[in-house]
Amino acid sequence: MDPSKADIIARLNQDILPLQGYKPSRQGAPQVLGLGAIENAFPNKVFPLAAIHEFCCKDQEDETATGGFISGLLASLLLHGGTAVWISQSPIVFPPAMTYFGLSPEKFIFISMQKEKDIQWAMEEALKCGGLSAVIGEIKDLSFTASRRFQLAVENSNVTGFIIRRDPRPLNSTASVTRWKISSLPSESADDLPGIGFPRWQVDLLKVRNGRPGSWKLEWIKGKFRLIRNVNTTIHQPQKKTG
């Protein structure tokens, strides 16, 4: 390819990104959420803020793993004193556990609504509110129209939205910037110590607009994400008495 042509294409790509809902970071400098090599998968190699991220979960365990992953992301997002809203049908998140991910639980406002429809309404209202840093919503059915409305809301308000979808059926196309699937992996403790190691997740980026989907293994250790390159085959030791 002609170098000038490559330049033109690169420039056009840059022009297209804002039209598709990617915004350059507010402060100008890209904000790194500590995802390491995963961030290469995103356009401009920056985790897209002011956008909607969708997470698919199979069961409650997956949902918790997803919650953990999102909490890890929020740790850097809320570092400079932002507030987040967690909208769900019934409050099940246990705030003290958030301290493990470096979050201050008092900065979260938990909202529970009676119906799916109400959650979507509340989610849209919250996404429009520029005073928030992040909105997490537990929504089962997300239509394309609804996701488009969310996306339009965040484009004005710069809020980052996370949608946790439990057992979505059918897995329809939405206007979200990314679609993730997080599930738990067996933990490993160093030097064969008994007991449970640090939380470990299988992170699948199923869909990312203008990026490269991929699959990674992550561990939350000492308040940071750590990418696991080559996973050793786990040898199950006979159970030992602990504690």
Partner 1 sequence: MSKRFLSIWFDHLKTDWFSIREPRLKSMPFVLRIPSHGKMIISASNILAEKNGITTGMAVADARAILPGLEVQDDKPELEEKLIRRIAEWSIRFSPFVSMDLPDGIMIDATGCSHLWGGDSPYMHDILQKINSRGYSAGIAMADTAGAAWGLARFSGRPYVAEKGLHAHAILDLPPDALRIENEIIERLYKLGLRRIRDFIAIPRTSLRRRFGDPFIKRINQVLGTEEEFFEPVVPIEPFEERLPCLEPILTRTGVEIGLRRTLEQLCHKLSQEQKGLRNACFKAYRADGQVSELNISTSRASHHVDHLYRLFEDKLSAFKVEPGIELFTLTSSVVEELPPLQEKIWESSGGLNDIRLAELIDRLSAHKGLFSIQRFLPAEHHLPEKSIRPAVSLTEEASTTWRKDLLRPLQLLSPPEQIEVTAPIPDYPPMMFRYKGKIHKIKKADGPERIEQEWWIARGRHRDYYQVEDEEGKRYWLFRSGHYNETRSHKWFLHGFFA
Angle at alpha carbon of residue 53, lines to 129 and 181, rounded to 5°:
150
* Chain residues 198-227 in contact with partner 1, contact rule CB under 8 A: 199-201, 220
The answer to whether residue 100 forms part of the interface with partner 1 (CB under 8 A) is yes
Rounded CA separation 235/219 (Å): 19
Establish if 93 lies at the interface with partner 1 (CB under 8 A). yes
Is 195 a binder of partner 1 (CB under 8 A)? yes
Cis preceding linkage at 170, omega within 30: yes
When the beta carbons of 54 and 124 are compared against partner 1, the nearer one is 124
Using rule CB under 8 A, residue 239 touches partner 1: yes
Both tokens assigned to 74? 């929020």
Question: Within 10 Å of residue 218's Cβ, how many Cβ atoms?
Answer: 22
Choices 2-10, 49-57, 93-101, 145-153; region in contact with partner 1 by CB under 8 A: 93-101
Residue 92 contacts partner 1 per CB under 8 A: yes
> 72-105 burial by CB neighbour count: b if 16+ within 10 A, else e?
bbbbbbbeeeebbbbbbbeeebeeeebeebbbee
Stretch that binds partner 1, among 5-13, 45-53, 127-135, 136-144 (CB under 8 A): 127-135
**Per-residue b/e over 18-56, b at no fewer than 16 CB within 10 Å?**
eeebbeebeeeeeeebebeebbebbbbebbbbbbbbbbb
Among 33, 122, 153, 218, binds partner 1 (CB under 8 A): 122
Nearer Cβ to partner 1 (122/177): 122
Q: Which of positions 2-61 make contact with partner 1 (CB under 8 A)?
A: 60-61
Whose tokens are 């897995």? That residue is 171
Binding site for partner 1 (CB under 8 A): 60-61, 63-65, 67-69, 71, 81-83, 85, 89-101, 104-115, 117-118, 121-122, 125-126, 129-133, 183-187, 189, 194-197, 199-201, 220, 236, 239, 241-243
